[in-house]
Every structure is written in C-alpha cells, then in structure tokens.
Amino acid sequence: MKTNSSTGSVDSAPPWRPLARRVTLWATIASWLALGYLVWYVAPDWRGVADVSAPYTRKILFYHPASAWATFLAYFLVFSYSVAYLNERDHRYDNPAAAAAEVGWFLNTLALATGTVWGTVEWSRTGQHPLATVYTEPKVLVVLVMWFTMSAYLLLRRAVRDPDDRARLAAVFGILGFAGAPLSFMTSRILQTSLHPDIAGPGANPDAAVGPTVGAVIGFSVVAFSLLTIHLWLTRWTMLDIADTANDPDDPEHQHA
C-alpha cells in the first residue's frame, strides 16, 4: 500500500475491507433484530415485580454494559493503531485510528446517557440529588473521563492542519489518553466503595448476580454491539480514505477546476 507524504492520503484500501464491511453489515442487522426480539420477548418482564419501581428502565441493562464494552473496544483500536503509526510513521494507520475514535465517541456518549438514566432511577443516597449520586460514582467518572479523552482527541485532530503533524500528535495523545482510562478505573476501584453493580467477572457482587437468561441476553448484546462497532469503524475508515484521495492534489483524476 502506498501513501502520499504531502497529504497523508492512502492510495489503495486493504483488499479485505470491502468484504469485511459487507459481512459485518448483514451480521449487524441480523444480530440487532435478534437482540430486539430477545430483549422484549425472551428476557424477563419486570412489570409487577414488587421491588422493581421502573421495569422499563431495567431494559437498559441489555444495552448499557455492551455500549461501555464497545467503547473500550473502539478505544483499544485507537491505541493499537496509534502505536503502529508511531513505530512505522505510515499514514495507513492514521485513518483507522481516527475512525475508531469517532465511533468510540458515539458509543461512549451512549454508555454515558444510558448509565445516567439507569443511575438516577436505581441509585439513591440520602440527602443527595440523583444526578450528584450518579456523577460521584467512580465508574461513571471513568466513563466521563473516557468521553473527555475522545473529545480531546477529536479536537486535537481538527486543530492541526499538516497531515504528518496531525497523525503524529494524535497518535501520541491516543496512547496517553488510553492509559488514563484503565488507570482511572483501577484507582477508583481500589479506593472507593461503589454503587455500580459488577454482574460478572472477578470481584463480581453476588447481590447483583443476574439469572442465566438475563446473562445470555447481555452476552448477546455485547456481540451485537461489537459487530456494530466494527461495521461503523470500517465504514468511517473507508470514508476518511475517500476524503483523503479526493483532496490529494497529486492525483490528476481528483483535480477540480
């Protein structure tokens, strides 16, 4: 694959990408239709359950953890391609990092919004406004830090005009910013008691354990969100490559009068 050093444009796309986009498109559509069916017809309906005051809000459980997972996935792509760019200084690694950041920012916003709705309904501390309870919760703060990180990454890309400088500075920040999220996660987890339930994995809270059906639907939603993330990432990556090629002054086919 060749890259144009003056514009940073990529002259040809990886051969596997069109096929991967098509496969992930249909897999995403199928998995989201199936997820809708599972959430509304197979998963438990909490209406009428004594200690559940907001049964429809509980359905967020099937979207929130998966959107948070997909955010981490997108940000890991940013980190990986940033390391690859700094090692090889090859522009073919810049657009995938930028595309992953944009997709990650969208998913991060979704995770933050669904988490806020869930927290304001389900959590409470005496004498505290529900939003204050949510936004003093360590895990929510981590997601908020990630949101700021993604926003800063995208702002940084828009603030630099030169393609080489833009790719280099964004890659440096992609690594620094990615380190901040897990460090913040570990710090808050070690230091404070949390209202956020850990339903699976090491240190999971037994009180927050979900049944096998709910667990399976959550697992399926993680797959559906991962497919959506990969498809959006591949599509956005393609669009950025096309935009670079269209702006390439050395390509006679794309010179406009």
Partner 1 sequence: MDLLRLSPVPATTHGASRTITDLALILTIAAVSIAANALLFAIPITTTLLGTVATGCTALAIVASLAGALSAQTNNPILGPVLVIPGAAPILQAALAQSLTILAGLTLVYAGLAWFLWPHALGEAS
Task: List Cβ neighbours of 140 (8 Å cut-off, separation of 6 or more).
Answer: 112, 115, 116, 119, 134, 196
Cβ closest to partner 1, residue 63 vs residue 81: 81
**What is the smallest separation between the CB atom of 178 and partner 1, expressed in angstroms?**
8
- Nearer to partner 1 by Cβ, of 20 and 156: the residue is 156
Q: In angstroms, what CA-CA distances link 209 with 112, 200, 212?
A: 22, 7, 9
DSSP state of 39: I
Which residues contribute to the site for partner 1 (CB under 8 A)? Answer: 86, 89, 138, 141, 145-146, 148-149, 151-152, 155-156, 159-161, 165, 168-169, 171-173, 175-177, 179-181, 183-184, 186-188, 190-192
Q: How far is the CB of 59 from partner 1 (least distance, A)?
A: 31
Tell me the closest approach of the beta carbon of residue 148 to partner 1, in angstroms.
5
**CB within 8 Å of 119: residues ≥ 6 apart:** 130, 133, 134, 137, 140, 195
Q: Are 72 and 225 in contact (CB under 8 A)?
A: no
State which residue, 96 or 177, has the beta carbon closest to partner 1.
Answer: 177
Nearest residue (CB) to partner 1, 21 versus 189? 189
Minimum distance from residue 62 beta carbon to partner 1 (Å): 29
Q: C-alpha angle 171/223/17, rounded to 5°?
A: 55
